[in-house]
Amino acid sequence: MKKWIAVGLGCGMVALSACGGTVEVEVPEFTAGKEEAQVTRVSSSGVCPQKRTTPRAPTAFYKRTNPLEATGENLTQGETLYQRTAKPLTCKTCHGERGDGFGDPDFESTPPARNFTCAATMQGLSDGQLFWVIRNGSPGTSMPAHPNLSETEIWQLVLYLRTFAGQ
């Protein structure tokens, strides 16, 4: 039974990804021999919102807002960093070219990479929190620190990340 539910959900997600849409489905959760259904929003980019317990940045940092304007130049620089030049890893390696959390299938990310296309997830992340995680990495996850990026480059990345969720 569980196998067929998983197969059905998988087929539905593949079909949905072709359309790029979003739908609410009941995802059975199997615990102690019982089936409990919970409504989860599933899109072509995965589960939304993602539940995560990322350590919070220090309060003074968490409250920082991006000092850069979303100009064409800043967004282009952010895109270049995300897609091609950020080191030690480009962001797209884990988060995917579209920011949906589906990066290189040969790279296993634990927990799954953050889905930047999910507005509900992104609204809960302050600019300062995003900056902090990019600069310092996220302990207990596959997210590496990027200490070689300048403050300006990290803020450009934050601007670009917000475009995935239409922010």
Reported pTM: 0.72
Place of tokens 């059905």: 8
Average pLDDT, 10 consecutive residues per value, the chain (167 residues)? 44 42 38 37 59 86 97 98 94 94 85 91 94 94 94 98 93
Q: Where along the chain do the CATH 1.10.760.10 domains lie? A: 50-163
- Between CA 115 and CA 100 the distance in angstroms is 5
d(CA 133, CA 59): 14
**So what's the architecture of 50-163 in CATH?**
Orthogonal Bundle (1.10)
Helix (H, G, I), strand (E, B) or coil at 9: helix
Using one digit for the tens of pLDDT, what is the confidence trace for 119-167? 998 998 999 999 999 999 998 888 999 999 999 999 999 999 999 999 8
